[in-house]
Structure 1
Amino acid sequence: MADKKELLQRVGSMQQLMYVRPVTFEEGRARGMKAYEVKNGPLKFSVMADKCLDLTDVSFCGHNMSFLTKPGLMGRNHYDTNGAEAQRSIMGGMLFTCGLENICAPCKIDGKDFPMHGRIRTTPAEHVGADACWVGDDYIVSISGTMREAELFGENLTLRRRITTCYGENRICIEDEITNEGFRREPMMLLYHINVGYPLLCEDSEIVIPTKRVTPRDEAAASNAEYWNRMEAPKDNEPEYVFLHDMAADQEGNTFALVMNKNLGIGLKVEYSVKELPYFMQWKSIASGDYVIGLEPANSSVYGKPYHIKENSLHQIEPFATEKKRLVLTFLSGAELDEARRRAEEFLK
């Protein structure tokens, strides 16, 4: 990659190569939603300012990488957090953030409703900002903002997010700080729902996860357990499969998951720390029209809030405490795919 001076000799504006631009969608269910479009060479993605600064569509080297559900791109709806109706507002995208009081299935506890995958995923960001500038010899795009999940006489949790990408590095870094600004201990459940779709995902795809043990969630998943690491052709009305992974990691606790397509020569690697996110679930659907792999690092189990309450293992955050989480999405090509697979094998030695 050329250095700063060489780049500026060759371009009139760095926007030839990299930019962040605010946009507002004007039609359909997405009407009025504010977002940011980002270009970083062959990597393009969008960040929803009105929905937790989550990632929608992502493309790399001209190929789509992400999954979009049948309702399509949408903003916030009146039924977003109304129990199982959430399935009408979960649009997928490259990332949607689940939490903070609940993840996975909706439930009712002590007369209080906790919607499917929680409320934070539809919470608009406050104090939103975007920048593109030189930091030394690196040209960096950054987007930041704060989401608040709060209730009168209830919780007061904030999630401050910063998303960065550096020119010449096909990577998106997501750094989160979750703070309890209330005066009581609160449950804090968090799951990052990272969704891979066609054409990256197809029968040519391989799922590489340095897993020590794979546990099917239920009978449906058990019937597909031997195929957890690859995709089949779409099949009409096939049930979803969910697998729980016991992840191997390096000495610092770092690990990753990878979806790769050798025919296209591209892949997506998700890196995180098992110290911050000790659970990892894999969602697999080969159903026609719902064709997706979900990679899901989390601080809680897919079995949800009632399970953790029963097991006395519900993750909680103390008043005025802050927890930090970091995810890196790296978009790979060529020989980088083989190197990532080799690294996964090393983790298991």
Structure 2
Amino acid sequence: MQGAVTTMTSTEHNTRADMLAHMGSLQQAAYVRPIEYQEGRAHGLKAIEVKNGPLRFVSMADRALDVCQFEYRGENLTFLSKPGLNGRNQFDTNGLEAQRSIMGGLFFTCGFENICAPYVTTEGGKYPAGSFPMHGRIRTTPAEHVGSDAHWTAEGDYVLEVSGEMREAELFGENLVMRRKITSVYGQPSIMVEDEVTNESFRDEPLMWMYHCNFGWPLLAEGAEVVIPSRKATPRDETTAADTTPWNEIQAPEANRPESVYLHELAADENGRSFAAVVNRKLGLGVVIDFDASLFPYFMEWKSMGAGDYVVGLEPSNSSVHGRGWHEQRGDLHTIAPQTSERKSLTFTVIEGEAAIDGLIARRDALLG
């Protein structure tokens, strides 16, 4: 793969007239297509497949519209855990059993009452008693009002779009609604995720909110690199502190190697923007996550070099990996007021070629100045 690529090679024919002249149907190049899986744990899972030239991704309508598959020129860029694709099942919201349904994918949404380890509250505290599963419940919530479209804009862009609404709610409990829109423009190797969460209850509610972004083979391979403008990386625990390999270097898989987790302090530009990425020079590809760092005061890196569990997770969040109990003890658990909304967005972009990877490294270095 040669040189920096800012748009796909197919975009020499990306005006409406050119595309219609060269194709019988625009679906030769781009489409949004509802699908349903037919076997195994994924049986009955409804999803939306999106093709944007050489970029292809799948958004799961039955699981918060999270993106499970993300490919570029046929190369997989994400991690899929041992259980594989899952529809809704008995493991979804049952403490640590969630590890039997966590699939990975380009991202899954964590929250909203809890992220990270399972947590149980008791009567007499500031918040009602409850049991909160690993990484929360929103990731397993099926979408309502699901929409998908492919259309031309007045500006001449061919836009591929998925949208829907998820509700995390309980009788006498929380009532949090997330509206999600995922957009990709033909000729641009990226997707934008725009989310809005509204508290439709009549009390303050915890709002822990993390995007668990996961990268796997062949993008993740020995010699690949994690690129983060990190001013400081703090190990989560003693196991991570004992890991002598650099947090940004990717090693070969090793049987039964424990995971390492780091909390990063990110540098940002004058507009508050920052990023995180995984790049592979041998493959000639990378994936960059761009976001407003002010909306994500915590950023974690999950590095698992264990054979069979070979993955790097990059995790922009409004809460710490130490979990809900840690925030409750500190008195800084993030909450959302009744009848108010919060918004967050992320952009995932594929970069291709040595020059593009060099440019990303230069961007990191400039932020760290």
Task: Give CA deviations for 1:181-219 in whole Å, capped at 9, x if unaligned.
Answer: 110010000010000000000012011100000001011
The structure 1 residue matched to 2:282, chosen from 237, 260, 263, is 263
Alpha-carbon separation, structure 1, partners of 2:245 and 2:334: 32
116, 121, 142: which one aligns with 2:134:
116
Q: In structure 2, the residue corresponding to 1:347 is in which secondary structure?
A: helix
* Rounded Cα–Cα distance in structure 2 between residues aligned with 1:303 and 1:318: 23
- Aligned pairs for 1:39-58 within 5 A: 39-58=51-70
Determine the structure 1 residue equivalent to 2:365: 345
Per-residue CA deviations over 1:25-76 (Å, capped at 9, x if unaligned) read 1100011110011111111110000000001111112211010010111101
Distance 1:228 1:118 in 2: 27
Residue-by-residue CA offset, 1:288-317 (whole Å, 9 max, x unaligned): 100000000000000000000001110000
The residue identity in structure 1 corresponding to 2:27 is: Q
- Return the letter of the residue paired with 1:147: M
> Which residue does the alignment assign to 1:133?
151
CA distance in 2, matches of 1:214, 1:237: 24
Name the aligned partner's letter for residue 287 of structure 1: G
- Correspondence 1:1-349 to 2 at 5 A: 1=11, 2=13, 3-110=15-122, 111-136=129-154, 137-224=156-243, 226-334=245-353, 335-349=355-369
SS at structure 2 position matched to 1:344: helix
Q: What do you get for the CA RMSD once the two structures are aligned?
A: 0.9
Could you say which structure has the greater relative contact order, defined with CA pairs below 8 angstroms and 6 or more residues apart? 2
| Stretches of structure 2 lacking an aligned partner (at least 5 in a row) | 1-10, 123-128
| 1:225 shift after superposition | 5.3
191-200 vs 74-83, greater mean Cα deviation: 74-83
**Greater displacement, 88-97 / 122-131:** 88-97
TM score, norm. by length of structure 2: 0.93
Q: Secondary structure at the match of 1:337?
A: helix
d(CA) in 1 for partners of 2:249, 2:72: 21
Runs of 4+ in 1 over 3 A off after TM superposition: none
The one-letter amino acid paired with 1:42 is P
- The equivalent of 2:125 in structure 1 is none
TM-score where L is the length of structure 1: 0.98
Q: Identity of paired residues, percent?
A: 54
| Aligned residue-pair number | 349
Match of 2:126 in 1: none
> Contact 1:216–1:225 at 8 Å: present in 2 too?
no
Separation (CA, whole Å) in 1 of partners of 2:340 and 2:332: 19
CA contact (8 A) 1:57 1:94 kept: yes
Q: Which secondary structure state, in structure 2, belongs to the residue aligned with residue 275 of structure 1?
A: helix
Q: CA deviation at 1:226?
A: 4.3
Please state how far the C-alpha of 1:224 moved relative to its aligned partner.
Answer: 2.2
Q: 1:202 to 1:4 in 2, by over 3 A?
A: same
